[in-house]
Amino acid sequence: MLDISFREALAVWWRIGLLSFGGPAGQIALMHRILVEEKRWIDEDRFLHALNYCMMLPGPEAQQLATYIGWLLHGVKGGLVAGILFIVPGAVLILLLSLLYVLLGDVSLVQGLFFGLKAAVLAIVLQALFRISQKALKNRLAWALAIGGFIALFAFNLPFPLVVLGAGLVGYLSARLSPASAAPEPAQSLSPELRPGTKTAAVGCAALWTLTVFGLLWLLGGDQVFSQLALFFSKLAVVTFGGAYAVLGYVAQQGVEHYGWLQPGEMVDGLGLAETTPGPLILVTQFVGFLAGFREYGIGGAVLAAILTTWVTFLPCFVWIFAGAPYVEKLRHHQALSKALAGITAAVVGVIANLALWFSLNVLFAERQVLEGYGLRLLLPELASINLAMLALTLVACLLLFGFKRGLFTLLGSCALLGMGWQLLVG
């Protein structure tokens, strides 16, 4: 490993945090370009080795990759700085945009802006579904898990963690029961990559996370908004496999239908905000927390709720890296674990399909009905309530994304301008 000054690394992590647009694919590509090609601080093999480990973890893989590489370069302080700076620019911008949203959301141009962003977000979600399904669904078992995950969520409204754990269990058992697993795996002689204070850092982050959640529950009780946010997003942080899109449907359904933190269209607005800012897309959860706090306590409570949501969402990421990074090689070569994670990845395709359909129903139709019976709970649209302007704008967004292969900023900018133009025309 090269002898790199911490001050130089600090400047680079700031740069990466400010430029990390485009979701995990763009963020990983950015880090590869800067850290591997430009700075040559880490070689190709080690970069991919770290990436493979982070892809197996719950939470935003790009942020965890930054934390891991920062840990490799400068130990615990490097990991903390890299991981935090990957989050801070986007978190600050999301907070500012959330304030703008609640203060100026009734202004025509702002309404038009979010009207256009909703259409763009629908197209982006459909593209994510298409790309992930191409990579994840390579055999019959993967297809079965994807379809099963979709049906479990959309038709039976089963808990998302149950779907994820069930898919992982099926993948694990398939590895154990397959004939190829009868042969013993080759012995591993790889020793852990040691950095002073790593175990202490893992324990410290876990303690802070636990004290935050249980401290709020003890002080405020389980029915208060801050306690609900801390507990809900902490549980989410443990099962967020497959990136933000995999859990946004679950977050939206719980936030809208169970807790009443926000309205269906507001969740799509939040996703549009997160798409336009740097940092992990899962920062959309900060917008959810902000609205929950705003409706209960006003602006001051909204800011505190947003900070709390981001704290409990990302603190576990540091636990996973500091606790597991020293043993990454043994995890990578464990056959049953790899199969379990492959099962989860397949089920994630079904989860994203549920997200796409749920968003479509709530954005394209003004009225919906719930059909229940025999264990089913189906959300169906009232066809007469379709928003033709939103449908047209969504088709334009899909054409820009799939037909003309336009980038994220072109898509969002075009849809935002069209949305504002439509609002001025009809307003």
| Structure confidence at residue 23 (pLDDT) | 67
Q: Is the pLDDT of residue 187 over 50?
A: no
**Burial letters for 237-246: b for 16+ Cβ neighbours within 10 Å, e otherwise?**
bebbbbbbbb
149-158, 331-340, 381-390: range with highest mean pLDDT: 381-390
Residue-wise pLDDT for 30-82, tens only, equals 888 899 888 999 887 778 778 767 877 888 888 999 999 999 899 999 999 99
**Burial letters for 185-195: b for 16+ Cβ neighbours within 10 Å, e otherwise?**
eeeeeeeeeeb
Confidence of residue 2 (pLDDT cuts 50, 70, 90): low
Confidence of residue 295 (pLDDT cuts 50, 70, 90): very high
Lowest mean pLDDT among 357-361, 384-388, 393-397: 357-361
Alpha carbon distances (Å) from 267 to 46, 85, 211, 254, 382: 38, 25, 29, 11, 21
Confidence of residue 344 (pLDDT cuts 50, 70, 90): confident
- H-assigned helices in 225-283: 225-239, 245-253, 264-275
Task: Say what percent of the chain tops pLDDT 90.
Answer: 38
Confidence of residue 188 (pLDDT cuts 50, 70, 90): very low
Task: Say what percent of the chain tops pLDDT 70.
Answer: 89
Which residue in 127, 11, 21, 98 sits closest to 301, CA to CA? 98
| Structure confidence at residue 107 (pLDDT) | 57
| Structure confidence at residue 218 (pLDDT) | 96
| Structure confidence at residue 414 (pLDDT) | 93
Q: Is the pLDDT of residue 11 over 80?
A: yes
User: φ, ψ for residue 20 (rounded to 5)?
Assistant: -85, 65
| Structure confidence at residue 190 (pLDDT) | 39
Torsion-angle region of residue 40: left (phi > 0), alpha (psi -120 to 50) or beta? left
Residue-wise pLDDT for 90-129, tens only, equals 999 899 989 988 887 655 677 788 788 888 878 887 887 8
Average pLDDT over residues 21-34: 77
Which residues is 379 bridged to in the sheet? Answer: 370
Average pLDDT over residues 372-376: 81
**Residue 266 neighbours by CB under 8 Å, 6+ apart:** 291
Average pLDDT over the chain, rounded to an integer:
84
Residue-wise pLDDT for 251-292, tens only, equals 888 888 889 998 877 887 887 778 777 888 889 899 999 999
Confidence of residue 141 (pLDDT cuts 50, 70, 90): very high
Residue-wise pLDDT for 203-259, tens only, equals 999 999 999 999 999 999 989 999 999 999 998 888 776 556 667 777 888 888 889
Lowest mean pLDDT among 197-201, 244-248, 302-306: 244-248
Residue-wise pLDDT for 398-411, tens only, equals 999 899 988 777 88
Q: Is the pLDDT of residue 10 over 90?
A: yes
CA distance 418 to 113: 8
| Structure confidence at residue 6 (pLDDT) | 93
Confidence of residue 427 (pLDDT cuts 50, 70, 90): low
Residue-wise pLDDT for 310-328, tens only, equals 999 999 999 999 998 887 7
